[in-house]
Each structure stands twice: as structure tokens, then as C-alpha cells.
Amino acid sequence: MDGTVQASPKAQRGVELIPTRAEVLSVAGVPLPLGVADKVGAELDTRLNHRVLDLRKPAVRAIFELRTAILEGLRESFLSRGFLEVETPKLLRQGAEGGATMFAVDYFDSAAYLAQSPQLYKQMLMSAGFERVFEIAPAFRAEPSDTVRHLTEFSSVDGEIAYIESAEDVRQVLELVVADTIATARTRLERWGNPYAEKLPVAHPPFPRIPFTECEELLGRPGAERDLATEDEKRLGEVLVDRFGNPFYFLVDFPTSVKVSTFYAHRFDDRPQFVDYFDLDYRGLELASGGRREHRLEPLTANIRAAGVDPASLEGYLEAFRFGMPPHGGWGFGLDRFVTVLADLPNIRESRLFPRDRYRLTP
């Protein structure tokens, strides 16, 4: 299209193009299954069924500009703190969390699984002398969840740090990464004229730390030692944000019974009924989970057996612990959930270009 650029106070950018010549490059079919220029709404399933048309909307594109800015902020923050970006396998013989939530795939003449997380490989790298690593990559969970905050394919932001004394060392890095990322994203979005620039929260480390036992008391069930359900998290979020005035907060020191399947979690030596683990929540929604790992071979092997896993199936992982493993810890952080809460989206599926859930494999 050719034309003349003129000043226009009504235009969003202050100028408009008065066309003098137009050339049709491709003819669109009619009628469109989804409006892209008007403000007529459509159900999410309809939008996702015709995702390419949906992505043409400026408001939808703005979400993925936000996602791009967040990724830029994450990488800048990690690299400025001496982290090395790594890529671990997504086809595995075994998983970190157990077989019930894994997708099996044919792998030549044997079975393999899609990775739930890079957990075991991150730990192995600690033994190799890679003292600070991060990875931003897809992960897969075969959980039959039909909620607005779960996906079967998602992006995980994982970090691991060697030579720590406790999970507090990990939390301090994670909260700074979160704060850095939001600040960088805001600057980038302001340059782009993206509407989310002025909507992003300000993250103020240190975030509050609330022991799990205190959470149980706030929920009116002291000593229950049950994992937090969605409604529990929401109730806690309302109370804790009101108390501390910070939308970000850590839940710390989980009972071993709650994290029993997490065999690599470090049990406190003086309080073996608790693990040095935490969740990072934002207004009642879990964004990250992590903590100190068990770096000693004998306790780790005992934990593996207690979780109902045969240590022989994890021989490649355990070898790293036989030849010197420093104390270490890390986290897994949900990128899609982060985008969802920062953009205040009603459904996590809107945070991915082509989401995958229990029923959706196309487009």
C-alpha cells in the first residue's frame, strides 16, 4: 500500500496513512469464522479452533509481546548472575516425578517418555561443576486436569545452584530474578507501546516467608499435613496479600508427608518430618516450587526406595552422586502461569500460541 502520512490526533500513534494505491497480495476466504477487526466476542474454544485469526487481534498479540519481554527479562537476570543456559533431553527412560503423569512414546524398539521436568539433569550438572544453570524449555504432564490453570504441554523456567547452605539461598536468587524480570519487561513494553507496561505489578524483595504449619492454622486445620487444594491456595492468598501487602510470597518448610513423592528433597536433619522446600505463590496461585536437594548418596537412595522407585532405574542419575556432589538446590517456575497472572488472563490457554490440554491437539 502506498499513501501519504499525516498527523491525526485521533490515531493511536498520532499519525495515519491516507492510501493512494493498494495491491491485493492474497484473497481471504469469506465469511470469516471469527471476527478480527470488530469487538464482537467469541468463546475461547472458537478462538482456539481458529487461532491464526485470533492472533491477528492487537489485544491478543499484546499478550505475546508481554511473553517475549518476560523471556528477555529472565535471560538477562540469569546471565547477570553467572548462570549458564543449558538444554536437557526431553526424551527419557524415566521421569523425575513418577510414571503416572508421563506421556509414553515409541522410541525405536523400546519405550521412552516425554520429560516432566529437567530435574534430574540439573542435579547431575551440579556434580559436573556447572554451579549455576537455567533452562527455559517445554515440559509435559499427563494429568487429566480440565482447569483454567493447567496444560499438558507447558514452558518451565528451571534453575539450579550449587554450594548452598539452605533453601533460603535459592529463594533469595529466585525473588531477585522475578523482580528483575518484571522491571525489564516493563521497560521493553513501554518502548513498544504495549498496554501491559502500566499494568505490571512491582515486585519488592524480600517476599514474605510463611511456614506451612502457619498456613494450616490460617486455614483452620492445624497439624493436618495435607497438600493445599486450589481453594486453600485462594483463601491463603486473600489473607496473606492483605497481611503483607505483597502479591508474591513463599510458603516454606513443608511436612515430609506432603512432599513424600519428591525423593530428591532434603529433609532437615534435626526435623526429619519437614523438608527444606518452598512454593512461590502470587495471589493464591502457585508459580514455582523448589528447595534444597538431598546431595548425600545414602539418604537419597533411601528416599528413592521410600517413594516406591527402584534405585537401579536411576543408575545414570545416581552415578553423579557417587563421585562428589555439592549441596545444591533450585526450582521449577511456570512461565505460562506467570504470563497469565501478569496479563490477568482468565484462562492459562490464552498465554500460549497453540495450547495443548486433555482434549486439544489441533491446530
- In the residue annotation, 328 being an active-site residue is answered as no
CB-based burial, 293-312: b 16+ in 10 Å, e otherwise = bbbebeebbebbeeeebebe
Locate 254 and state its grid cell. Answer: 513443608
E-assigned strand segments in 120-177: 132-140, 153-162
Measure Cα distances from 154 to 239, 247, 333, 350 in Å.
29, 23, 11, 12
3-class secondary structure, 125? helix
Q: Is 141 a catalytic residue?
A: yes
Nearest to 322, CA basis, from 117, 124, 106: 124
Looking at 47, 171, 186, 337, which residue is catalytic? 337
Query: Is 50 an active-site residue?
Result: no
Q: Is 289 designated active site?
A: yes
**Cβ-based burial of 277 (10 A; exposed 0-12, middle 13-18, buried ≥19):** buried
| Torsion 262-263-264-270 (CA) sign | positive
Exactly one of 16, 97, 214, 286 is catalytic; which is it? 286
- In the residue annotation, 352 being an active-site residue is answered as no
109: how many CB neighbours lie within 10 A of its CB? 5
Known active-site residue 51: no
CA distance 86 to 100: 27
Q: Which member of 67, 141, 186, 295 is catalytic?
A: 141
Q: Which residue(s) pair with 120 in the sheet?
A: none
For the chain, the residue count is 363
286 is catalytic: yes
**Catalytic residue from among 289, 292, 293, 351:** 289
Distance CA 200, CA 66 (A): 10
The catalytic residue positions are 141, 143, 149-150, 286, 289, 337
